Amino acid sequence: MFYRRLIIGILFCLICCTSCNEFGRMLKSTDNEMKYEVAMDYYDRKDYNHALQLFDLLSNAFRNTPRGEMITYRTAMCYYLTYDYEIAAYYFNKFVNTYPFSKDAEKAAFMNAYCSYKTSPQITLDQKNTEMAISNIQSYMEHYPEGDSIPRAKELLADLNNKLEEKDYNICILYYRMENYNAAITCFENLLKKYPNTTHREEILSDMAKTYYDYAENSVPEKQKERYEACIERYNTLNYLYPESTYLKEAAQVADKARKKLENLH
Protein backbone atom coordinates (compact mmCIF):
# COMPACT_ATOMS: atom_id res chain seq x y z
CA MET A 1 0.00 0.00 0.00
CA PHE A 2 2.86 2.38 0.89
CA TYR A 3 4.70 1.75 -2.38
CA ARG A 4 1.48 2.19 -4.37
CA ARG A 5 0.87 5.60 -2.79
CA LEU A 6 4.49 6.54 -3.40
CA ILE A 7 4.26 5.65 -7.09
CA ILE A 8 0.98 7.59 -7.47
CA GLY A 9 2.62 10.58 -5.79
CA ILE A 10 5.61 10.47 -8.12
CA LEU A 11 3.37 10.19 -11.20
CA PHE A 12 1.31 13.17 -10.00
CA CYS A 13 4.46 15.26 -9.59
CA LEU A 14 5.66 14.28 -13.07
CA ILE A 15 2.30 15.26 -14.58
CA CYS A 16 2.39 18.60 -12.75
CA CYS A 17 5.96 19.26 -13.89
CA THR A 18 5.04 18.41 -17.48
CA SER A 19 1.98 20.67 -17.32
CA CYS A 20 4.07 23.49 -15.82
CA ASN A 21 6.69 23.12 -18.55
CA GLU A 22 4.02 23.16 -21.27
CA PHE A 23 2.41 26.26 -19.76
CA GLY A 24 5.80 27.93 -19.44
CA ARG A 25 6.45 27.32 -23.14
CA MET A 26 3.00 28.68 -23.95
CA LEU A 27 3.77 31.91 -22.06
CA LYS A 28 6.93 32.38 -24.13
CA SER A 29 5.25 31.53 -27.44
CA THR A 30 4.78 34.26 -30.04
CA ASP A 31 1.73 32.52 -31.48
CA ASN A 32 -1.01 34.78 -30.13
CA GLU A 33 -3.75 32.86 -31.92
CA MET A 34 -2.79 29.67 -30.10
CA LYS A 35 -2.43 31.55 -26.81
CA TYR A 36 -5.94 32.92 -27.25
CA GLU A 37 -7.46 29.49 -27.87
CA VAL A 38 -5.58 28.01 -24.90
CA ALA A 39 -6.62 30.93 -22.66
CA MET A 40 -10.26 30.43 -23.59
CA ASP A 41 -9.93 26.72 -22.88
CA TYR A 42 -8.47 27.43 -19.45
CA TYR A 43 -11.35 29.82 -18.75
CA ASP A 44 -13.97 27.30 -19.86
CA ARG A 45 -12.37 24.71 -17.58
CA LYS A 46 -12.50 27.26 -14.71
CA ASP A 47 -8.72 27.45 -14.42
CA TYR A 48 -8.87 31.19 -13.91
CA ASN A 49 -5.29 31.60 -12.71
CA HIS A 50 -3.77 30.26 -15.94
CA ALA A 51 -6.38 32.05 -18.04
CA LEU A 52 -5.54 35.37 -16.41
CA GLN A 53 -1.84 34.99 -17.11
CA LEU A 54 -2.51 34.49 -20.80
CA PHE A 55 -5.18 37.22 -20.95
CA ASP A 56 -2.65 39.66 -19.49
CA LEU A 57 -0.17 38.83 -22.27
CA LEU A 58 -2.82 39.05 -25.00
CA SER A 59 -4.65 42.23 -23.97
CA ASN A 60 -2.44 44.61 -25.96
CA ALA A 61 -2.19 42.34 -29.01
CA PHE A 62 -5.98 42.21 -29.46
CA ARG A 63 -6.95 45.64 -28.15
CA ASN A 64 -10.05 47.16 -29.79
CA THR A 65 -10.88 43.94 -31.60
CA PRO A 66 -13.66 41.41 -30.97
CA ARG A 67 -11.12 39.14 -29.30
CA GLY A 68 -9.86 42.03 -27.20
CA GLU A 69 -13.45 42.63 -26.13
CA MET A 70 -13.77 39.01 -25.04
CA ILE A 71 -10.40 39.09 -23.25
CA THR A 72 -11.32 42.21 -21.26
CA TYR A 73 -14.71 40.84 -20.27
CA ARG A 74 -13.38 37.45 -19.27
CA THR A 75 -10.50 39.04 -17.38
CA ALA A 76 -13.09 40.86 -15.27
CA MET A 77 -15.04 37.64 -14.82
CA CYS A 78 -11.91 35.76 -13.72
CA TYR A 79 -11.35 38.23 -10.91
CA TYR A 80 -15.04 38.20 -10.01
CA LEU A 81 -15.16 34.40 -9.90
CA THR A 82 -12.07 34.33 -7.67
CA TYR A 83 -13.68 36.89 -5.31
CA ASP A 84 -11.24 39.72 -6.08
CA TYR A 85 -14.09 42.21 -6.38
CA GLU A 86 -12.07 45.42 -6.36
CA ILE A 87 -9.96 44.43 -9.37
CA ALA A 88 -13.00 42.88 -11.06
CA ALA A 89 -14.83 46.20 -10.75
CA TYR A 90 -11.87 47.95 -12.36
CA TYR A 91 -11.93 45.63 -15.38
CA PHE A 92 -15.72 45.75 -15.78
CA ASN A 93 -15.50 49.54 -15.77
CA LYS A 94 -12.65 49.37 -18.27
CA PHE A 95 -14.79 47.15 -20.49
CA VAL A 96 -17.70 49.63 -20.46
CA ASN A 97 -15.40 52.54 -21.31
CA THR A 98 -13.54 50.65 -24.05
CA TYR A 99 -16.50 48.85 -25.60
CA PRO A 100 -19.55 51.04 -24.82
CA PHE A 101 -21.57 49.59 -27.72
CA SER A 102 -20.91 45.96 -26.89
CA LYS A 103 -23.88 43.68 -26.32
CA ASP A 104 -22.31 42.99 -22.92
CA ALA A 105 -21.87 46.66 -21.96
CA GLU A 106 -24.99 46.77 -19.80
CA LYS A 107 -24.09 43.56 -17.99
CA ALA A 108 -20.55 44.83 -17.42
CA ALA A 109 -21.89 48.12 -16.05
CA PHE A 110 -24.06 46.25 -13.59
CA MET A 111 -21.21 43.90 -12.65
CA ASN A 112 -19.01 46.91 -11.98
CA ALA A 113 -21.70 48.22 -9.63
CA TYR A 114 -22.22 44.82 -8.03
CA CYS A 115 -18.49 44.26 -7.44
CA SER A 116 -18.32 47.72 -5.87
CA TYR A 117 -21.23 46.69 -3.65
CA LYS A 118 -19.28 43.60 -2.58
CA THR A 119 -16.36 45.80 -1.42
CA SER A 120 -18.59 47.75 0.95
CA PRO A 121 -17.13 47.18 4.44
CA GLN A 122 -18.87 46.39 7.69
CA ILE A 123 -20.70 49.27 9.29
CA THR A 124 -18.05 50.07 11.93
CA LEU A 125 -15.43 50.88 9.28
CA ASP A 126 -14.94 53.85 6.96
CA GLN A 127 -17.67 53.87 4.29
CA LYS A 128 -15.72 55.35 1.36
CA ASN A 129 -16.22 52.16 -0.65
CA THR A 130 -19.93 52.18 0.17
CA GLU A 131 -20.28 55.68 -1.23
CA MET A 132 -18.37 54.63 -4.35
CA ALA A 133 -20.67 51.63 -4.76
CA ILE A 134 -23.73 53.86 -4.48
CA SER A 135 -22.30 56.12 -7.17
CA ASN A 136 -21.64 53.15 -9.48
CA ILE A 137 -25.12 51.71 -8.96
CA GLN A 138 -26.74 55.09 -9.63
CA SER A 139 -24.61 55.43 -12.77
CA TYR A 140 -25.82 52.05 -14.02
CA MET A 141 -29.46 52.99 -13.34
CA GLU A 142 -29.08 56.33 -15.14
CA HIS A 143 -27.46 54.80 -18.22
CA TYR A 144 -29.75 51.76 -18.41
CA PRO A 145 -33.12 52.81 -16.94
CA GLU A 146 -34.79 49.84 -18.65
CA GLY A 147 -31.95 47.43 -17.90
CA ASP A 148 -32.56 43.83 -16.94
CA SER A 149 -30.77 44.33 -13.62
CA ILE A 150 -32.63 47.47 -12.50
CA PRO A 151 -34.72 45.61 -9.85
CA ARG A 152 -31.57 44.08 -8.35
CA ALA A 153 -29.76 47.43 -8.55
CA LYS A 154 -32.55 49.06 -6.55
CA GLU A 155 -32.20 46.37 -3.87
CA LEU A 156 -28.45 46.91 -3.65
CA LEU A 157 -28.87 50.68 -3.50
CA ALA A 158 -31.42 50.43 -0.69
CA ASP A 159 -29.13 48.10 1.25
CA LEU A 160 -26.16 50.48 0.96
CA ASN A 161 -28.23 53.52 1.89
CA ASN A 162 -29.53 51.64 4.93
CA LYS A 163 -25.94 50.92 5.92
CA LEU A 164 -24.99 54.60 5.71
CA GLU A 165 -28.13 55.54 7.62
CA GLU A 166 -27.29 53.02 10.33
CA LYS A 167 -23.75 54.36 10.47
CA ASP A 168 -25.02 57.93 10.91
CA TYR A 169 -27.51 56.81 13.56
CA ASN A 170 -24.76 55.07 15.52
CA ILE A 171 -22.74 58.28 15.45
CA CYS A 172 -25.71 60.16 16.95
CA ILE A 173 -25.97 57.60 19.74
CA LEU A 174 -22.23 57.81 20.32
CA TYR A 175 -22.46 61.57 20.82
CA TYR A 176 -25.31 61.00 23.27
CA ARG A 177 -23.36 58.43 25.27
CA MET A 178 -20.38 60.78 25.35
CA GLU A 179 -22.80 63.36 26.83
CA ASN A 180 -22.13 65.71 23.94
CA TYR A 181 -25.80 66.56 23.75
CA ASN A 182 -25.51 69.52 21.40
CA ALA A 183 -23.67 67.40 18.83
CA ALA A 184 -26.17 64.57 19.31
CA ILE A 185 -29.14 66.87 18.67
CA THR A 186 -27.50 68.31 15.55
CA CYS A 187 -26.69 64.80 14.37
CA PHE A 188 -30.27 63.57 14.88
CA GLU A 189 -31.71 66.58 13.04
CA ASN A 190 -29.34 66.12 10.11
CA LEU A 191 -30.20 62.42 10.02
CA LEU A 192 -33.92 63.19 9.61
CA LYS A 193 -33.17 65.69 6.84
CA LYS A 194 -30.80 63.33 5.03
CA TYR A 195 -33.13 60.32 5.28
CA PRO A 196 -36.69 61.71 5.26
CA ASN A 197 -38.11 58.22 4.68
CA THR A 198 -36.11 56.55 7.40
CA THR A 199 -37.73 53.58 9.12
CA HIS A 200 -36.06 54.70 12.35
CA ARG A 201 -38.04 57.93 12.71
CA GLU A 202 -39.95 56.69 15.78
CA GLU A 203 -36.76 55.67 17.51
CA ILE A 204 -35.02 58.92 16.58
CA LEU A 205 -37.87 61.08 17.94
CA SER A 206 -37.75 59.12 21.19
CA ASP A 207 -33.96 59.48 21.35
CA MET A 208 -34.25 63.21 20.72
CA ALA A 209 -36.72 63.59 23.58
CA LYS A 210 -34.25 61.87 25.93
CA THR A 211 -31.34 63.89 24.56
CA TYR A 212 -33.11 67.23 24.98
CA TYR A 213 -34.06 66.29 28.54
CA ASP A 214 -30.49 65.40 29.48
CA TYR A 215 -29.26 68.46 27.61
CA ALA A 216 -31.57 70.64 29.72
CA GLU A 217 -30.45 68.93 32.92
CA ASN A 218 -26.85 69.80 32.11
CA SER A 219 -27.54 73.35 30.87
CA VAL A 220 -27.24 76.73 32.52
CA PRO A 221 -30.62 77.86 33.99
CA GLU A 222 -31.41 80.34 31.23
CA LYS A 223 -31.18 77.56 28.60
CA GLN A 224 -33.16 74.89 30.44
CA LYS A 225 -36.68 76.08 29.61
CA GLU A 226 -36.30 75.88 25.82
CA ARG A 227 -34.64 72.46 26.04
CA TYR A 228 -37.30 70.95 28.31
CA GLU A 229 -39.89 72.33 25.89
CA ALA A 230 -38.03 70.77 22.97
CA CYS A 231 -38.11 67.45 24.80
CA ILE A 232 -41.89 67.66 25.18
CA GLU A 233 -42.27 68.77 21.56
CA ARG A 234 -40.40 65.70 20.29
CA TYR A 235 -42.60 63.47 22.43
CA ASN A 236 -45.75 65.15 21.11
CA THR A 237 -44.55 64.64 17.53
CA LEU A 238 -43.89 60.98 18.23
CA ASN A 239 -47.30 60.58 19.84
CA TYR A 240 -49.07 62.32 16.92
CA LEU A 241 -47.30 60.46 14.12
CA TYR A 242 -47.03 57.05 15.79
CA PRO A 243 -49.79 56.63 18.40
CA GLU A 244 -49.06 52.89 18.58
CA SER A 245 -45.28 53.24 18.82
CA THR A 246 -43.42 50.95 21.19
CA TYR A 247 -41.23 53.93 22.08
CA LEU A 248 -44.11 56.01 23.43
CA LYS A 249 -44.07 54.70 26.98
CA GLU A 250 -40.43 55.56 27.62
CA ALA A 251 -40.71 58.90 25.81
CA ALA A 252 -43.86 59.77 27.80
CA GLN A 253 -42.00 59.21 31.07
CA VAL A 254 -39.24 61.56 29.94
CA ALA A 255 -41.77 64.18 28.79
CA ASP A 256 -43.56 64.00 32.17
CA LYS A 257 -40.30 64.67 33.95
CA ALA A 258 -39.67 67.63 31.62
CA ARG A 259 -43.13 69.09 32.43
CA LYS A 260 -42.45 68.86 36.15
CA LYS A 261 -39.11 70.57 35.66
CA LEU A 262 -40.83 73.38 33.74
CA GLU A 263 -43.36 73.82 36.57
CA ASN A 264 -40.54 74.22 39.05
CA LEU A 265 -38.84 76.83 36.84
CA HIS A 266 -41.84 79.23 37.03
Q: What does the pLDDT look like over 153-169, one tens digit per residue?
A: 999 999 999 999 999 99
Q: How many CA atoms lie within 13 A of 89 on its CB side?
A: 19
pLDDT of 18 reads 46
239 and 194 Cβ atoms separated by less than 8 Å? no
Burial 173-198 (b: 16+ CB within 10 A, else e): eebbeeeebebbbebbeebeeebeeb
Could you say which residues of the chain have pLDDT below 50? Answer: 1-18
Q: What is the pLDDT of residue 29?
A: 64
Q: What is the pLDDT of residue 10?
A: 37
Q: Who contacts 75 (Cβ-Cβ below 8 Å, separation ≥6)?
A: 52, 55, 56, 59, 91
Which of these, 42, 44, 35, lies nearest to 62 by C-alpha position? 35
CA nearest to 249, candidates 210, 196, 217 = 210
Handedness of CA 140, 145, 148, 149 (dihedral sign): positive
pLDDT at 266: 64
Domains of the chain, earliest start first: 178-266 (1.20.58.80)
Please compute Rg for the chain using Cα positions: 30
pTM above 0.85, yes or no: no
pLDDT tens digits, residue range 182-216?
999 999 999 999 998 898 899 999 999 999 999 99
Say how far apart CA 147 and CA 51 lie, in whole Å: 30
CA–CA gap between residue 258 and residue 4 (Å, rounded): 85
> Other C-beta atoms within 10 Å of 154: how many?
12
